[in-house]
Structure 1
Amino acid sequence: MFDAGTSHMALRGSSGGRGLGAGFASNVSFALVRCPRRMEMLRVSQSGATIVMELHWPSGDVGVFLCCRIELCPGDRQLRQRRLAHQAANQQASTLTIVAMLLLLATCGWIVGGTEGLHRAVLGTAPLPGTPAISRETMYRWFGARPLSPVELPQLFGILAGVCRRAGLARWPELYCLARPGDMNAYALGGPAGSAIVFTEGLLSAMTRDEIAGILAHEVAHIRNNDSWTMSWAAALRRAIGWTSLAGLALLRAGHHHGGMASNGSLLTALLSAAPALGQLLDLALSRIRELDADATALELTGDSHALIAALSKLERHHADFSATSVSALQGDLMRLLRSHPATSERVGRLLSLAY
């Protein structure tokens, strides 16, 4: 029934594996393989979260065995539910952070001009519906970046095509290269209607193909999630909080009070003095939330957590000039609050929890 000379799979089957344990799926395959006479009848190994069991039976021919390979891996349904829950939590946290910035700005506006000052402060920072156009002239003028072409880097554009199709982007971002061979970085600009991704020469030369795919998917996630628009709005709120708080402090010091401000002058002064720092902390918190969401989306787009984690580790070592473990060990809660990106250890842990 089988070709005894083959060393590859001759017959394949599959099983749903529902009786093997809750949350696990299985794949069972059979093959005639050539092996030494002395070999393990049962071999168990692990690849990531997948447990692999191989059983070997003599086929009757010398050196030829029937191999039954059983792969057990966490069920896709549970992983999908976990990723959806993570995405919902990130969206909720982003919304709450923006609401907190709006409330802080509204409070500062009320101190400055009562109800009218509140309305002016909040309405003056309403986000614009679109994003500015990104042209090649603008990219060169702002960054000195040159456009990349499919003829120059066909593999990179092949990765881009696959990632953008899975992301559902109707308009693919243009790719640019920044002449910085000693730097490793990537940037995403714009939103779904028009965007660009900038790579440094150092990143393109130091990363493997799969690692570049993970970084590219992360930047495409920022574009699909319209994070540039969200962070621009947050930056406008942060600046407005700073200006309005300064105006409020000037009014309080000049003695121009309204309503019950005079009796609560010290409390309002403290609030206005702390408002810029609070706005900055909220802005940084939002940036960290959007980065974690982009990591999760990149995992959805590539399905390769190992390459994405390897890319993050390379970037961490490059920018910190020593291992990610040392960096995370030195960081406390205060340092975490002052970062625009989560610590690499936190990002890796989140990716592992979503992948397995």
Structure 2
Amino acid sequence: MQMLRISRCNTTVILDIYTPSGAAGTFLRCRIELDSRHRDLFGHQRLAHQTANHQSSALAILAMMLLLAVCGWIVGGAAGMQRALMESAPRPDGTVITRENMYRWFGARLLSHVEVPDLFAILTKVCSRAGLVRLPELYCLPAPGDMNAYALGRPERSAIVLTEGLLRGMTRQEIAGILAHEVAHIRNNDAWTMSWATALRRAIDWTSLAGLTLLRTRHHHGGMTSSRPLATLLSAAPTLGHLLGLALSRVRELDADATALELTGDSRALVAALEKLERHHTGAAPMRASAVAHDPMRLLRSHPATSERVGTLLNLAY
């Protein structure tokens, strides 16, 4: 008797499995039907999630630019607005990733393929799926009591730093998920995006301070008696810029999670890695999603709550 039978009907693939029931001559039949349209639905869902993340990122950057433009206009009119925006324009990254610099900056040492061939095999597979033409360099930070990972650079030249505690405390599948998350940051050029946001935030700080100084000087000389609303806006601008930068960081983290899921297809390992990191850093299991949703402190975090990240991954995976 044929124990496994695969057939196809239009867009549906049918898998029939026959297993012995324990009684002579009788079998249990299990049928699994997979509609290829469901796979398309999963793809559309991930694409919609990615599109929403990119739109949120663009809105955060545009809001920071608008805030900076208003502060510049208060300081010097149209010319002040133009000058403020030009000074905050993203500049080429002058950071040079070398073995010497990585050791000087972080105390991290370069890992070789001979030393950890399994890690490089994982990294090669992930980067191939991500479309990176150059593998990031792998560095180990000698911190046995810490579990963390960092990505630096752009797709053309990049590095990933893994702490010793992470390499010891994670399974290979979990490390694959972590590597995929960091590779996603590199492929999405998040370091450049966040450096631009940092430049915008600093420009907002300086321009708002200059505007407040100018308003106080004019007020001292008896001019602009109705400048209180402008002063209020200028006083709040640094805080607003900081909150927008944090919101952008959270969006980029969620997008990196979703990209990591596409690169590995292993939601269980990703979730396990996130929960293990949460327990390591907080000493407790992740909070419930409902509790996090009503926590105003979430706006002050650079990363989404672990429960939110896990929920997003599970929604995309299933």
TM-score relative to the length of structure 2: 0.92
CA contact (8 A) 1:288 1:342 kept: yes
Query: Does 2:65 correspond to 1:102?
Result: yes
Partner of 1:197: 160
Partner of 2:296: 334
CA contact (8 A) 1:105 1:122 kept: yes
Q: C-alpha offsets along residues 16-62 of structure 1, whole Å, 9 cap, x if unaligned?
A: 575xxxxxx6540445x55644xxxxxxxxxxxxxxxxxxxx5x3xx
Q: What letter corresponds to residue 321 of structure 1 in structure 2?
A: G
RMSD: 2.2
Query: Does 2:11 correspond to 1:15?
Result: no
Structure 2 matches for 1:22-37, cutoff 5 A?
26-30=13-17, 33=19, 36-37=22-23
Report the structure number with the largest CA radius of gyration. 1
Distance of aligned partners of 1:193 and 1:183 in 2 relative to their CA distance in 1, 3 Å threshold: same
CA contact (8 A) 2:60 2:244 kept: yes
Secondary structure of the corresponding residue to residue 220 of structure 1:
helix
Q: What letter corresponds to residue 28 of structure 1 in structure 2?
A: L
CA contact (8 A) 2:292 2:305 kept: no
Which runs of no fewer than 5 residues in structure 1 stay unpaired? 3-9, 19-24, 38-57
Partner of 1:287: 249
Partner of 2:75: 112
How many angstroms does 1:333 deviate by?
A: 3.7
* Higher normalized helix content (fraction of residues): 2
Distance of aligned partners of 1:106 and 1:344 in 2 relative to their CA distance in 1, 3 Å threshold: same
Query: Does 2:217 correspond to 1:230?
Result: no
Name the CA distance, whole Å, in 2 between partners of 1:171 and 1:160. 11
Name the CA distance, whole Å, in 1 between partners of 2:34 and 2:299. 36
Structure 2 matches for 1:165-184, cutoff 5 A?
165-184=128-147
TM-score relative to the length of structure 1: 0.83
Q: What letter corresponds to residue 105 of structure 2 in structure 1?
A: W
Partner of 2:111: 148
Name the CA distance, whole Å, in 1 between partners of 2:252 and 2:317. 19
Query: Does 2:85 correspond to 1:122?
Result: yes
Name the CA distance, whole Å, in 2 between partners of 1:15 and 1:351. 30
Partner of 2:262: 300
Q: What letter corresponds to residue 281 of structure 1 in structure 2?
A: L
CA contact (8 A) 1:110 1:117 kept: yes
Partner of 1:70: 31
How many angstroms does 1:328 deviate by?
A: 7.0
Distance of aligned partners of 1:111 and 1:270 in 2 relative to their CA distance in 1, 3 Å threshold: same
Partner of 1:90: 53
How many angstroms does 1:112 deviate by?
A: 1.1
CA contact (8 A) 1:183 1:203 kept: yes
Name the CA distance, whole Å, in 2 between partners of 1:219 and 1:94. 18
Q: C-alpha offsets along residues 215-257 of structure 1, whole Å, 9 cap, x if unaligned?
A: 1100000000000000000001001100111111111111179
Query: Does 2:312 correspond to 1:319?
Result: no
Name the CA distance, whole Å, in 2 between partners of 1:355 and 1:330. 22
Candidates 97, 106, 110, aligned match of 1:134: 97
Secondary structure of the corresponding residue to residue 95 of structure 1:
helix
